């Protein structure tokens, strides 16, 4: 799982930088929220989590790690796409969809946090 998270984080890094460069070229900065969340919750957070799991391989064997992986990697793209659509004027319903994606991501991050707090010092079989 560690390597997969690191690879996914690099994809978010490329998307975030490309998106930022697009905003710079066009001087359209209304999508700054999307750019920042892709960079922080995608690139930085997933890279750090991948490094945690690489350094402490017992952590990635837990149900909390698996729950975090799926919730984060489903919730974040849903949230980012929905925010972009909402900001673009596609409809207010996308703010509700973005909130749903955000809640999934938050629950996933809490799974990661609890996994670290409960299992960092444990040796799992």
Q: What is the pLDDT along the chain (125 residues), one digit of tens a residue?
A: 999 999 999 999 999 999 999 999 999 899 899 999 999 999 999 999 999 999 999 999 999 999 999 999 999 999 999 999 999 999 999 999 999 999 999 999 999 999 999 998 876 55
Please tell me the distance from the alpha carbon of residue 2 to that of residue 16, in angstroms, as a whole number.
21
User: 125 in a domain, yes or no?
Assistant: no
| CB distance 52 to 102 below 8 Å | no
pLDDT at res. 61: 92
Within-domain flag for 124: no
Would residue 55 count as lying in a domain?
yes
**How much is the pTM?**
0.89
- Contact in structure between 64 and 105 (CB atoms under 8 Å): no
Q: Degrees (nearest 5) of the Cα angle 80, 46, 24?
A: 50
**pLDDT on residue 123:** 66
φ, ψ for residue 121, nearest 5 deg: -90, 0
Q: Which domain holds residue 111?
A: 2-119
Helix (H) or strand (E) holding 5: helix 2-26
Nearest-CA neighbor of 19 among 6, 8, 5, 34? 34
Q: Domain for residue 56, yes or no? A: yes
- Quote the number of domains for the chain: 1
* Residue with tokens 């984080």, as numbered in its chain: 9
Q: DSSP letter for 29, please.
A: -
Residue 114 maps to a domain: yes
| Euclidean distance between CA atoms 36 and 12, whole angstroms | 11
- Has residue 108 been placed in a domain? yes
| Cβ neighbours around 72 below 10 Å, total | 25
Q: Is residue 19 part of a domain?
A: yes
68: in domain: yes
């Amino acid at each position: 799982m560690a390597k997969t998270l690191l690879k996914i984080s690099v994809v978010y890094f490329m998307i975030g930088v490309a998106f930022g460069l697009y905003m710079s070229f066009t001087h359209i900065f209304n999508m700054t929220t999307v750019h920042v969340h892709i960079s922080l919750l995608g690139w930085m957070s997933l890279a750090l989590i991948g490094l945690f799991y690489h350094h402490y391989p017992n952590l990635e064997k837990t149900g909390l790690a698996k729950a975090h992986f799926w919730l984060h990697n489903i919730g974040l793209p849903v949230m980012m796409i929905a925010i972009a659509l909402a900001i673009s004027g596609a409809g207010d319903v996308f703010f509700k969809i973005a909130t749903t994606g955000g809640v999934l991501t938050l629950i996933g991050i809490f799974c990661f946090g609890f996994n670290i707090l409960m299992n960092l010092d444990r040796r799992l079989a």
